[in-house]
Structure 1
Amino acid sequence: MPTSRLARLGAFAFRRRRLVLGAWVGALVVSIALAATLGGTFSADYNTPGSDSKAAAEALETRFPATSPDTIDVVWRTADGTPTAFLQQATKLKGIGPAGEPQISPDGAVGVVRLPLTMLPDEVPRTTGDRLLELGAAADVELGGGVIQQAQQGPISSEAIGLTVAFLVLLVALGTVVAAGLPLLLALFGLGIATGLIMLLAAVLPTPDWSSTVAAMLGIGVGIDYALLILTRYRAAGGGEAAIREAVGTAGRSVLIAGLTVVISLLGLFAMGLTYLYGVALAAIIAVLVVMVGAITLLPALLGFAGPRIERLRLPGRRASHGGGAFAGRWSRAVQKRPWTAAIAGTLVLLALASPVTGLRLGFPDAGNDREETTTRQAFDLVTQHFGAGANGPFVIVAPAAAAEPVASTLRGEAGVASVAPPQVNPAGDTALILANPTTAPESTATEDLLERLRDGRLGEDVVIGGRTAQAVDQAQATSARLPLFIGGVVGLSLLLLLVAFRSVTVALKAAVLNLFSVGAAYGVVALLAQGGWAGQLVGIDTATPVPPFIPVIMFATLFGLSMDYEVFLLSRVREAWLSGRSTSRAVTEGLTRTAGVISAAAAIMVVVFGALALSPEVFLKLIGIGLATAVLVDATVVRLVLVPAVMQLLGERNWWMPRWLDRIVPHTELEAPALSRA
């Protein structure tokens, strides 16, 4: 059998290990240096392009340059007196504009002043938020707003926690300290280089600050997984240059397919048309590509340095074992003996996990979902109790100055509008700003209905409505509208890649369907956690919380790609056995026997890496992390160990169905498994 280009690449990296390691060290140093000199700052515009809320934000930026729809809300009890000293000091901080007129609640018990931001919330320095918290505590006032929410959250290094637990899992799975350290070293190299490149990305494209956390978790998870797959194959082949040729030529091929599938899925985020998701997608893609390339170049070099020493520092009680597991073989045969029972049981489990998804509510959490002891929650509750539920999410109306009074008058006569502030005219005298408080809470469907009524033209053609509440509604609607295109694009492109890789229509379709089941189960778990209750309280979500619209999108893109990882790991071995002459039934048993251990270890690592996000103070990061961890766990157990062998047993030789006309069209590439005996 001719040696593949991947095998030759692995052998080159193994032989020229000093050159390859030097190149990677150089890349790490250069990326850090470039990030330090040319790196940008994280920022994001969460407005939906083409929406009313986006138009309002742009109008405020151009016509009211000192005003922003985002504010710092200063709330105090009137019995304590107006916090004049606090306001004087606060307005001197970077990113904070002049204070508006104080508003006193109808019962006279509480006052509030809104401090407009002079830049996007993500661009306000962290020091500004920290200083406001200090001043607020001294002045006995409560503070609200996104900048305050960000400042009051203590930093937790979920990456460090994930790496630590991942090392322990690797140590148990691989048995020696040296072997366990190599995948971790690859992940650290990838994390360092990707972090530098993401900082450069932030200099040319708006990129949210949390995108680096998502990219780091994804890069660490898949990097360790890919290294584990190649390393296991290398040790099973006995070590040395011949073993690295086999490992990179076979397992390396699986790594390329899996990595490219994740990249394709993440590229689907561009179909959503939300600019801040572009930065998230590219940051995650950078992380995946770096570790993917590292797995087939840096890892062989490290294995060359390690040599026989890879078996040193063995865990007490562990013997060298690189073959398949006897238990996995028995399990596979048991499932294949009763395929219908296994398929039905597995499907019922996935449907049960997915069932809470019917209660999934899209929207942006507000301060009412913060912990009770936080100043943002205290400010939110005070405003709600004394000004009404809608005061925490006012509509920001931008209108021509000449129409300001008629627009304000119309708003005051609308059912569902609690109060309307006097119009504020810009210095040029051509545009007016009006704040209107609904009677219902920002998350209420009644508030959304009111917004739709006000946008039906009754306020005038040149009037636009923005603000955080309108922004959330616009993004939820845009997400719902583009979701079918996004899902269709990701699934379609992934099907094409699998078709090229395995040259089977059945395999590609089965993989897509089962991956959709895994995603559905993850959505169900996220919906259950977001409802609060006993499940949500386990991870610090105490109240019913809407799920930001971008979470299902990011989860789908990530999960669909990651689910393909384990599908590729398993099916590559199955097809390899089938091509060598085994029957489909025996090939499935052999494939599961040889991959169950590595898939279980890889899944355990991914679960702990993603699960570490549950410790994040950000609710949306908790939901993303737990959702991803759940999906990986379900995929590696219910799907790969139950449904895949059961369905493949039922399909028999039909698993490899490929019409001749399609076989002629689909290109032959390095992604295909090498033909061993079958045509």
Structure 2
Amino acid sequence: MSTALYRIGRWCAAHAWRVLAAWVAVLVAVGTLAGTVGTPLTNQVSIPGTEFERVVERLGTEIPSAAGGFGRVVVESDSGSFTDAQKQAITEAMDTWKTVPHVQRVVDPFAAQQQIDESAQKLADSQEQLADGRAQLESGTAQLADAKGQLAGGEAFLAQLEKTDPDGQATADLRAQVEDGQRQVAEGQQKLDDAREQLLAGEAQYADGKTVADASAGTRLVSEDGRYAVIQVQFDDNAQSIAPEDRALIPEKGDPILEAAGVTPSYSVEITQALEFIGPGEILGLAVALLVLVLVLGSLVAAGLPLLVALLGVGVGLGGAMAATAFIELNSTTPALALMLGLAVGIDYALFIVNRHRANILHGMPLRESVARSVATAGSAVTFAGATVVIALAALVLSGIPILAEMGLVAAVTVAVSVLVAVTVAPAVMRLMGTRIVSRRAWRKAGFATPADASSRPDTAADRPEEHGAWYVGAVTRRPWLTVLGVVALVGVMAVPALDMRLGLPDGGSEPTGSSAYTAYTAVADEFGPGMNGPVVAVAELPAVDGTRTDAQVLDAQASIASALRGVDGVVSVVPFGVSEDKETLAFQVVPSTGPADEGTPATIDGIRGVASLLERHDGVEIGLTGQTVANIEISDRLQGALPFYLTVVVGLSLLILMVVFRSVVVPLVATGGFLLSVVAAFGATVAVHQWGWLGDWFGVTQPGPILSFMPIILIGVLFGLAMDYQMFLVSGMHESRAHGEDARTAVRSGFVHGVKVVTAAAIIMTSVFLGFAFSHLVMVRPIGFGLAVGVLVDAFVVRMTLTPAVMHLLGERAWWMPRWLDRLLPDLDVEGVRLADHLAQEDARTTPAEAADAAEVREPVAPRA
């Protein structure tokens, strides 16, 4: 590997302008494609095969008008309760919103609330009518009984006359009267039976209506004090799939109308959610990274190189991802994750190469040779480290969850591009920068009278490699057992909150305090109940019947289902809101007593599913659940189920890769154990801040709740790759020192002091970038950024710089044990460049005097610039 990278570095340095031009052309090409054929991103999270998606598809087929997503606008009157003028302004705003693209309908809260309020009066009127009907039925029954008595008397008298005077006129007249009376009684009985049947039907319909009304009680769209109202804006598709610029038209058109009338609108997160990648937090993180680069590399010019490499790699990677949206749909979190990782690893990888180049030329190596050697040695480590990150991210495909596979692949491609840019652009730019990559002060400190001119540096004693942190590694290895116990105890305490980890997806309550989405969320929770922020949609499939169901049969089914669902603990109300054309599919809105992210909501959903199962067994009614709350729970369960398998794959991969690199069985076990410690510490810290709310004010956590469902599995994949970076750059130094004849314990200290400076800088840079994303305006990105920032800090400073030297010192030579048969089976990647050094030495030995002169000309230092 090192030999191939040496040739790449030498070629790129020799053709610097061509390399830069080629990458700029690639950047322009992907940028043009992204701007022309790219499609908008989405915030929708889709997992095929889940119940909530199947139910949504069925709802869209059977009741299309009920299938679109909703956004909410909470309006507040500045004058107490809404005035007629304010209601008129709200009506005008709603009419304007109906013209916005993809808006299917806008529900008038005042009209809807009036219908809800009038339904109680209608039920009361119906009850009075039923009472009147019962009284009339009882009166008719009494009258009919009297008529039947009179008829019986007439029939008895007729029977006597027919015996005494069967052919008399009186008998004939009485017979006619009796027959007429029988006909009247029969007609009266029929009318009475019809009235009784109508009364029974009316009573049944009243009972069903009252049942539905009772189940719906508690649902309001206008607050009881008349100050707040909730306007529901229904889209023709899932709200997260609507283009942000279309959703932005809702506040843009509504604010002027409403605010002029003294009405304050607040828009739910479905309407306000934006998709920009870069915010103030991310910019601050990059600023800190630049500051660290200046301190480490000693000049602003040198510090700009890693940033250039990172930005170029991210630009190409993200440009390609955005261009790919012409063929696939990308979630908004996907580019954000790729951006976060691309910036972090791009800066770090370029830093490793630049730092090695600076060290080489400060020790007298010719500039062009130093560029090639830096790419061969540090570039080998960068390639290996980047490969581990790419493999860990690409392995997210194994989760079987499309959005995770999408996020992993896009991020993996971006990291791979960052590695490629680092090993090609970095040597080209270093060649063009010449001696300016080192400050004049650093040249003088290294003994150079003329920068890069070895003849102006008579003192060769300064060729010793830089050493940092000798006191620290001495302290941690002086009492290694105490160090190990201290680290395990510290990480154990940090990991305790992870035992209480709950997974979910963010909602409006996770938005920054004072934002429109947060205000809308809290207003709905306070005035209409927390469950109104995440109602559940229940879709019932009724059993087949002969013919078409009557309206009364539909109402009876609605009443039966609504009553059953309303009886579930934790359900506030059940409102029927849709019937299919064939009257075989019914839709209900089920409002829980708890919010979408509340700890008790999953138990309510389980209770609803239990009742649905009973209805299916007893009545043949199939009920499916959907809605954002149900989707959050199902997605979290699926991701939690995929986590153990993915962790097993990553751990196994870790052991295999590290065995190949370090030619040891024990070192990989130590490295993987440390990686697991970093993971649980990151989990624990994220739970404490984002779920428990500790230090929430510092990190903008306005409403603690479940941890983002994707965070654990993404953090494991990303942190695995980054942990291997630090393991590589520190332990490879120990491995190299041991290969050069030092005993195992001495090699631990010498390898540490040679590599700790650049690893420290890299960890601080990466932490700064991730911490910037911990304050991102994208709610889904915040816990990922925070978890990665903590994970990198713990892994770099606690695990790699503290625990690993202590354990390696304890193990001594046993740390490098490996069976001979296994050593023969595993490939030798020559990450440290040992074979490259031998190869170059053999080439020098075979070089003729004429070739040596040519080589000297090629390797001649670049003349310093004024």
> What TM bracket, shorter-length normalisation?
over 0.9
How far 1:99 sits from its partner (Å)?
2.4
Give the direction of change, closer, same or farther, for the CA distance of 1:550–1:343 in structure 2 (3 Å limit): same
Q: Is the 8 A contact 1:74 1:112 kept in 2?
A: yes
Cα distance in 1 between the residues matched to 2:24 and 2:12: 14
TM superposition shift of 1:650? 0.7
Instruction: Work out which of the residue numbers 184, 202, 206 in structure 1 matches 2:329.
Output: 206
Corresponding residue for 1:14?
13
- TM-score, normalised relative to structure 2: 0.73
Which residue among 567, 570, 574 is the counterpart of 1:416?
570
SS at match of 1:49: coil
Task: Return 294-303 or 458-467, whichever deviates more.
Answer: 458-467
Say whether residues 1:458 and 2:614 are aligned partners. yes
Answer yes or no: is 1:87 the counterpart of 2:94.
yes
Tell me whether 1:278 sits opposite 2:278 in the alignment: no
Residue in structure 2 matched with residue 609 of structure 1 by the alignment = 769
Indicate the SS of the match to 1:72.
Answer: strand
Report % sequence identity: 35
Residue 288 of structure 1 and its aligned partner are, at CA, apart by 0.6
Partner in structure 1 of residue 429 of structure 2: 302
**Correspondence for 1:362 among 476, 493, 503:** 503
1:155-234 equivalences under 5 Å are 156-234=279-357
Normalised by the length of structure 1, the TM-score is: 0.92
Q: CA deviation at 1:237?
A: 1.8
Q: 1:94, 1:128 within 8 Å by CA — same for their partners in 2?
A: yes
* Contact 1:579–1:676 under 8 Å retained in 2: no
Match of 1:114 in 2: 232
Give the C-alpha shift of residue 34 in structure 1: 2.1
Q: CA RMSD in A?
A: 2.9
1:130 aligns to 2:248 (yes or no): yes
Name the count of aligned residue pairs: 677
CA radius of gyration, larger in: 2
**2:98 counterpart of 1:98:** no
Offset at 1:326?
4.3
One of 316, 328, 333 as aligned partner of 2:474: 333
Give per-residue Cα distances to partners, 1:103-145, cap 9 Å, x unaligned.
4338464543422222233332323333322445442254453
Whether contact under 8 Å (2:73, 2:268) holds in the other structure is no
Structure 1 stretch displaced more, 537-546 or 615-624: 615-624
Matches of 1:278 and 1:3, distance apart in 2: 32
Answering whether residue 609 of structure 2 is matched by residue 441 of structure 1, we say: no
Unaligned residue ranges in structure 2 (runs of 5+): 114-219, 448-461, 544-553, 839-866
1:8-87 to 2 correspondence within 5 Å? Answer: 8-68=7-67, 70-76=69-75, 79-80=82-83, 82=87, 83-87=90-94
Q: CA deviation at 1:325?
A: 4.8
With over 3 angstroms needed to count, the CA separation of the structure-2 counterparts of 1:605 and 1:625, relative to structure 1, is same
Are the aligned partners of 2:688 and 2:694 in contact in 1 as well (CA < 8 Å)?
Answer: no
Equivalence for 2:519: 378
When structure 1 is superposed on structure 2, of 309-318 and 85-94 the one drifting more is: 309-318
Partner of 1:554: 714
Q: Output the amino acid matched with 1:210.
A: T
Kept in 2, the 8 Å contact 1:566–1:636? The answer is yes
What does 1:233-248 correspond to in 2, within 5 Å? Answer: 233-238=356-361, 239-248=366-375
**Aligned residue in 1 for 2:420:** 293
| Residues 521-561 of structure 1 deviation map (CA, whole Å, 9 limit, x = unaligned) | 11122112114655110121133222121112222211121
CA contact (8 A) 1:21 1:298 kept: yes
Report the alpha carbon displacement of residue 184 of structure 1 after superposing the two structures with TM. 1.5
Instruction: Give the CA deviation at 1:677.
Output: 12
Alignment of 1:647 with 2:774, yes or no, is no
Instruction: Decide whether the 8 Å contact of 1:44 with 1:206 is kept in 2.
Output: no
What is the deviation of 1:324?
Answer: 4.9
Query: Partners of 1:151 and 1:168 in 2: how far apart?
Result: 30
- Distance verdict in 2 for CA 1:519–1:319, change over 3 Å: farther
C-alpha distance 166-319 of structure 1, shift in aligned 2 (>3 A): farther
Contact 1:495-1:512 within 8 A present in 2 as well? yes
The answer on whether the counterparts of 1:581 and 1:677 sit within 8 Å (CA) in structure 2 is no
Contact 1:570 1:591 in 2 (8 A): yes
SS of 1:42's partner is coil
Q: Is the 8 A contact 1:219 1:284 kept in 2?
A: yes
- Separation in 1, partners of 2:277, 2:827: 52
- For residues 315 and 597 of structure 2, the distance between their equivalents in structure 1, rounded to whole angstroms, comes to 40
Question: 2-side partners of 1:385 and 1:7: how far apart?
Answer: 65
SS across alignment from 2:74: strand
Deviations 1:648-668 (A, max 9, x none): 001111111222232233233
Q: Residue 387 of structure 1: CA displacement?
A: 3.1
| 1:258-312 deviation per Cα after TM superposition (whole angstroms, max 9, x unaligned) | 1011112112322333222222212211221111011111111111112223224
Read off the aligned partner of 1:27 and give its amino acid letter.
V
Following the alignment from structure 1 to structure 2, what is the Cα–Cα distance between the partners of residues 428 and 585? 80
CA contact (8 A) 1:129 1:151 kept: no
Q: Is the 8 A contact 2:35 2:323 kept in 1?
A: no
Q: Tell me how far apart the structure 1 counterparts of residues 253 and 581 of structure 2 sit (CA, whole Å).
A: 31
Q: What amino acid sits opposite 2:316 in the alignment?
A: I
- What amino acid does structure 1 have at the position aligned with 2:769? V
Distance 1:591 1:35, change over 3 A: same
Structure 1 residues without counterparts, runs of 5 or longer: none
Question: 2 CA distance for matches of 1:228 and 1:152?
Answer: 30
Higher mean C-alpha displacement, 336-345 vs 664-673: 664-673
Matched position secondary structure for 1:297: helix
> Shift in Å at residue 171 of structure 1?
0.9
Flag the 1:474–1:130 CA change in 2: closer, same or farther, 3 A.
same
**Partner in structure 2 of residue 657 of structure 1:** 817
Comparing 60-69 with 544-553, greater Cα deviation is found at 60-69
Which segment drifts farther, 198-207 or 376-385?
A: 376-385
Residue 24 of structure 2 aligns to a residue whose secondary structure is helix
Q: For residues 86 and 155 of structure 1, what CA distance do their matches in structure 2 show?
A: 32
Partners of 1:190 and 1:223 within 8 A in 2: yes
Q: CA–CA distance in 2 between the matches of 1:653 and 1:282?
A: 40
Change (3 A) 1:414 1:329: closer
Shift of 1:670: 5.1
Distance 2:71 2:500 in 1: 32
1:6 positional shift: 1.7
* 1:581-592 alignment runs, 5 A limit: 581-592=741-752
Contact 1:408–1:423 (CA<8 Å) still a contact in 2?
no
Structure 2 CA distance, aligned partners of 1:200 and 1:152?
16
Q: Quick one: distance in 1 between partners of 2:63 and 2:446?
A: 71
